A and B are shown apart, each in its own frame.
Chain A
């Protein structure tokens, strides 16, 4: 035990010495294009079916339940058959438009830019990708997206659309995933006055509308819609899940004790074993191994594909002197990584020992393959003041009895806890954290849904 502590102590020291210089993250866009912001208030005509709010939420489980609060940042409508929201812009050859959107159960938002050209933003479907899928383009014909990149009902999503007046779509990117590149919808003249119509079916919300109109090609925009990885070796789980040890470069640094787990049903996660924690989750394509297995592989990272939700990579378990103590940031001290076993379905169960406490960690896809269920078993809990940190973000909203929307409605955590355990939502600096105390040996299950 002591030996493990010492070794992991070295791990810490060395990692932090080495990463005093920063690796650039391959997942971020550099040098953003200067954009003009559209003020929600200015877009509303009198008597419009669309309203302003500061907070909106649509319940995935209950179609009728929707929450809104006063404010002016968000445009939303709950009116069935609401009149479209029309936005008149300047003339030019190309329009780049981006915005956040939130859908309700069964809701749909269509972005229409005239001459029967449109993009349909729908709730995520469990079925195979087809013309009814989220992200389908329409013109002379219908063009389904390359992959499903959507997120769950009631979560904020991000759309980026780059359009040409001549009837081409340069690109469509949903939640950071390019789903269309250079699709010709129509043969049209080269310049036009841009008129964007947002059409809703069921309750929807919009915010952070920004755009730019240009007459020449912009390399920065091309880079936005280009794939961020080489895509020469794409690893795809086909029969069994894939359990791949790898390096992962998140926004913090290159992590060297990671295991990426890909499921044939298209829902994946990666853990950082030194934190006994989930580092990121995503759906769609699994990961790109080009930088690992081609040539010498100098970059040497597994690059998750799809719209990854990165957690902040801090330890899952810690002892706190008091409930207000800051959560530790570095690698988990006193941890011994024990490895993993593959069960009947060939999914891994990870094992750890942390300061005498045995941890068994099993993560499985939910039945609809739209969520991950994490079940933890703790044995030998031997001291007070031990806490588990389930999530952290800019803000955490409890949206129902058991569900929390994390980090400005980015994903949900749903908890089923024994009666005597109460979760704590606490502010710590700029972060809000969801913690639960660990008093005794126990089993705990929670769901990550997005």
Chain B
């Protein structure tokens, strides 16, 4: 009861959740009624919080939980370290009124915490430290340096970890520095992030006695490091240069994950990676083609499409104990610092390597998620801190718990690749009529580019045709047979037409993305199986037509609910990049606007005269991509939200939504680039606005354009 009240405090979140889920749910129902397939009347729409409840961990006012690391202790306490270098212990953390004590302070930006045999281990900026309370007064008094490492002093040289893997060694991720490219910076080839100290951009291994050695390379901004249910090492990566989208990857010694800056250290003795920047293709290949070309480059296990399921992939945990329900046992739960959400990842081993599927799981946390840890009672502690990257959760920091309510959500439990398609299993039996109807599914495959540019468009998108469907007798799994399996591509799997048996409810999350790194051999459907329902080619044509119809119906139904379409570029009249020939005497006014760190324009207010000829020079001096849209007064939030709602289409559309309220815009500018646009100021005096619509930026990156005489 009390907990619901707490949740209600997050009023904006509630509204947001409602928009995303309730509207989506209704839209899906409406769509199927239209197609004459619906049998049930509107059912009560379940939301995430009916299954997984977010609770606030109550804390004294003087504690600032900018969580960088979490650890659980043998007595059930949860410890966390903060950006300001404090180590707090929350006693009775799953109770209603826990109490918090300060154990240590003065640590240098710890971004991980491990507890073992009465001591804590933290990776600080410059060293791995073992912290112990020797005299037993509840406060640490011994800080032992286990090993230290070189740094250039750049703020972005984060160290994520330590993580203890099943081999008894510690692992730490060395983030790259942010100064890699642009005027006066060295080696522009490497991109916007640079390696300015030894082993930057690497996973390093530290033995219990402090021997540090390089382990795997090619990391960019590897904000999460952890182990799966089997204790094997995985890491998560953030989108940027050379990284088209965030991902989770299995780390083994000698792996190279793609960011070339790290290769500066690969020439040194002890390096298990033997590549140089000369080995890196410079012709902007698709990511999976690059992996094929570069010997030793590894495919991430599961890619998490940017702007749809994540923006800044961070810490993760495996649910070994089935705390989130037996159906999700051993799956991975991955937090996101930008979208303040958790996604669910189910993996399988195909041809010796991990790959798998990612689903939405839970949104609406108060800040950017960095770390997660299970409590002794099965609550998942979620540690947050947005650190100037403007998370969807509006607080700057927080510590919350995520608790399973005991109810079983109707979800895709997992997806497995087969030689000729996919097998989807469900947590609850599905409605048979829906399950065997090909129109219940939409499947597309696509890839991202591997290049120095920040992020990537969606590339080589292709709808998949279902040629057969087999529903299992227990109605808990569906085998989809496809015409083609494109190895190396990401498969968008949408099951919006599916309904739960009897209940008739849609899936809580009707889509997921399977990273088909490899196609298993010898796992074909038995064409003589009486349960297999073939789908004729004719049906395909109908499906495509229906899809077109659906898109129309579904437009403006909110984010992420639509199948991927080939995006059309925004109309050109809103972005004129050469001076119009009619401007013989040049522009009336030239405006130069730039960016500040922490997602801001350097000018918050502009004044122009009605109808004036304006030359606007937008200079992106930040290390992230930005655009600039001039919109009608009061439209900033709406346009910012619609840009996010573009989902997978966003990158190809420069994140510029099609709307009358968008007056003029630049393209999405890479870090350290400039674009000039020419426009005529509105004739009508008044307040107009400008913003950046790159996902997550509009909340802070906005300004006012005053049109006045």
- A residues contacting B by CB (< 8 A) are 3, 7, 10-11, 14-15, 17-19, 242-247, 254-257, 259, 289, 292-300, 337-343, 346
| Interface status of B279 (Cβ within 8 A of chain A) | no
| Interface status of B423 (Cβ within 8 A of chain A) | no
| Interface status of B232 (Cβ within 8 A of chain A) | no
- Please indicate which of the listed interface residues B124, B145, B153 has the most CB atoms of chain A within 10 Å of its own CB: B153
Q: Indicate if the CB atoms of B142 and A296 lie closer than 8 Å.
A: no
Residues of B within 8 A of A339 (CB): 129, 142-145
Partner of B198, one of A10, A295, A297, A300: A10
B148 closest partner in A (C-beta): A337
Q: Indicate if the CB atoms of B597 and A295 lie closer than 8 Å.
A: yes
CA distance A262 to B149 in the complex (A): 25
A301 closest partner in B (C-beta): B153
Q: Known: A245-B85, A296-B389. Is A18-B197 also a contact (CB below 8 A)?
A: yes
Q: Indicate if the CB atoms of A341 and B150 lie closer than 8 Å.
A: no
The majority secondary structure among interface residues of chain A is mixed
CA distance A245 to B153 in the complex (A): 13
Q: Indicate if the CB atoms of B387 and A338 lie closer than 8 Å.
A: no
Q: Indicate if the CB atoms of B145 and A299 lie closer than 8 Å.
A: no
Partner of A293, one of B83, B134, B144, B145: B83
Q: Known: A244-B106, A296-B389. Is A337-B145 also a contact (CB below 8 A)?
A: yes
- B residues contacting A by CB (< 8 A) are 66, 83-85, 105-109, 124-127, 129, 134, 139-145, 147-155, 178, 196-198, 211-212, 387-389, 597-598
The majority secondary structure among interface residues of chain B is loop
CA distance A255 to B153 in the complex (A): 7
CA distance A334 to B150 in the complex (A): 15
Q: Indicate if the CB atoms of B388 and A296 lie closer than 8 Å.
A: yes
Min Cβ gap A114→B in Å is 46
Min Cβ gap B180→A in Å is 13
Min Cβ gap A306→B in Å is 19
Q: Indicate if the CB atoms of A256 and B125 lie closer than 8 Å.
A: yes
Q: Known: A295-B598, A338-B145. Is A11-B106 also a contact (CB below 8 A)?
A: no
With contacts A18-B196, A341-B142 known, what are 9 further pairs, Cβ within 8 A? A10-B198, A11-B198, A14-B150, A18-B197, A256-B152, A296-B155, A299-B155, A341-B134, A342-B141
Residues of B within 8 A of A246 (CB): 108
CA distance A343 to B109 in the complex (A): 24
Q: Indicate if the CB atoms of A244 and B141 lie closer than 8 Å.
A: no
Q: Known: A256-B126, A295-B388. Is A245-B149 also a contact (CB below 8 A)?
A: no
Listed by A's residue number, 26 A-B pairs whose Cβ atoms lie within 8 Å are A7-B148, A7-B149, A7-B212, A11-B149, A14-B197, A245-B125, A247-B125, A256-B152, A256-B153, A257-B126, A293-B66, A295-B387, A296-B388, A298-B597, A300-B153, A300-B155, A337-B127, A337-B145, A338-B144, A339-B144, A340-B143, A341-B134, A341-B142, A342-B141, A342-B143, A346-B139
Q: Indicate if the CB atoms of B143 and A296 lie closer than 8 Å.
A: no
CA distance A19 to B389 in the complex (A): 28
CA distance A11 to B155 in the complex (A): 17
Residues of A within 8 A of B109 (CB): 292
Partner of A18, one of B142, B145, B152: B152
Q: Indicate if the CB atoms of B597 and A296 lie closer than 8 Å.
A: yes
Q: Known: A243-B106, A244-B85. Is A297-B155 also a contact (CB below 8 A)?
A: yes
CA distance A343 to B137 in the complex (A): 12
Residues of B within 8 A of A257 (CB): 126-127, 148
CA distance A257 to B153 in the complex (A): 10
Q: Indicate if the CB atoms of B151 and A256 lie closer than 8 Å.
A: yes
Q: Known: A10-B198, A242-B106, A245-B107. Is A341-B143 also a contact (CB below 8 A)?
A: yes
Q: Indicate if the CB atoms of B598 and A7 lie closer than 8 Å.
A: no
Residues of A within 8 A of B140 (CB): 342
A260 closest partner in B (C-beta): B106
CA distance A245 to B127 in the complex (A): 10
CA distance A14 to B124 in the complex (A): 19
CA distance A14 to B177 in the complex (A): 14
A12 closest partner in B (C-beta): B150
Residues of B within 8 A of A243 (CB): 105-106
Min Cβ gap A296→B in Å is 4
Q: Indicate if the CB atoms of B153 and A247 lie closer than 8 Å.
A: yes
Q: Indicate if the CB atoms of A289 and B84 lie closer than 8 Å.
A: yes
Residues of A within 8 A of B211 (CB): 3
Min Cβ gap A339→B in Å is 4
Min Cβ gap A263→B in Å is 13
Min Cβ gap B627→A in Å is 20
Min Cβ gap B53→A in Å is 31
Q: Known: A300-B155, A337-B145. Is A11-B389 also a contact (CB below 8 A)?
A: no
Q: Indicate if the CB atoms of B145 and A296 lie closer than 8 Å.
A: no
Residues of B within 8 A of A289 (CB): 84
CA distance A297 to B83 in the complex (A): 11
CA distance A342 to B151 in the complex (A): 26
Residues of B within 8 A of A11 (CB): 148-150, 198
CA distance A339 to B147 in the complex (A): 10
A15 closest partner in B (C-beta): B150
Q: Indicate if the CB atoms of A297 and B388 lie closer than 8 Å.
A: yes
CA distance A81 to B147 in the complex (A): 63
CA distance A15 to B107 in the complex (A): 22
CA distance A10 to B151 in the complex (A): 10
CA distance A190 to B141 in the complex (A): 60
B64 closest partner in A (C-beta): A293
Q: Indicate if the CB atoms of A245 and B598 lie closer than 8 Å.
A: no
Partner of B152, one of A3, A14, A337: A14
Min Cβ gap B104→A in Å is 9
CA distance A338 to B129 in the complex (A): 10
Residues of B within 8 A of A298 (CB): 155, 178, 597
Q: Indicate if the CB atoms of B155 and A14 lie closer than 8 Å.
A: no
Min Cβ gap A26→B in Å is 14
Q: Known: A338-B144, A340-B143. Is A293-B150 also a contact (CB below 8 A)?
A: no
CA distance A339 to B108 in the complex (A): 13
CA distance A104 to B83 in the complex (A): 46
Min Cβ gap B120→A in Å is 13
Min Cβ gap B156→A in Å is 8
CA distance A7 to B126 in the complex (A): 12
Min Cβ gap B597→A in Å is 5
CA distance A282 to B24 in the complex (A): 61
CA distance A243 to B152 in the complex (A): 22
Residues of A within 8 A of B141 (CB): 341-343, 346
Residues of B within 8 A of A254 (CB): 152-153
Residues of A within 8 A of B196 (CB): 14, 17-18
CA distance A19 to B140 in the complex (A): 35
Residues of A within 8 A of B125 (CB): 245, 247, 256
Residues of B within 8 A of A292 (CB): 109
Residues of A within 8 A of B126 (CB): 245, 256-257
Residues of A within 8 A of B108 (CB): 244-246
A244 closest partner in B (C-beta): B106
Residues of A within 8 A of B388 (CB): 294-297
Residues of A within 8 A of B152 (CB): 14-15, 18-19, 254, 256
CA distance A441 to B125 in the complex (A): 33
Residues of B within 8 A of A299 (CB): 155
Min Cβ gap B480→A in Å is 44
Min Cβ gap B158→A in Å is 11
Residues of A within 8 A of B387 (CB): 295-297
Min Cβ gap A255→B in Å is 8
- Please indicate which of the listed interface residues B129, B150, B152, B598 has the most CB atoms of chain A within 10 Å of its own CB: B150
Residues of A within 8 A of B148 (CB): 7, 11, 257, 337
Residues of A within 8 A of B106 (CB): 242-245, 259
CA distance A297 to B84 in the complex (A): 12
Q: Known: A245-B106, A339-B145, A341-B142. Is A293-B198 also a contact (CB below 8 A)?
A: no
A337 closest partner in B (C-beta): B145
CA distance A254 to B126 in the complex (A): 13
A343 closest partner in B (C-beta): B141
CA distance A337 to B140 in the complex (A): 19
A291 closest partner in B (C-beta): B155
Residues of B within 8 A of A259 (CB): 106
Residues of B within 8 A of A256 (CB): 125-126, 151-153
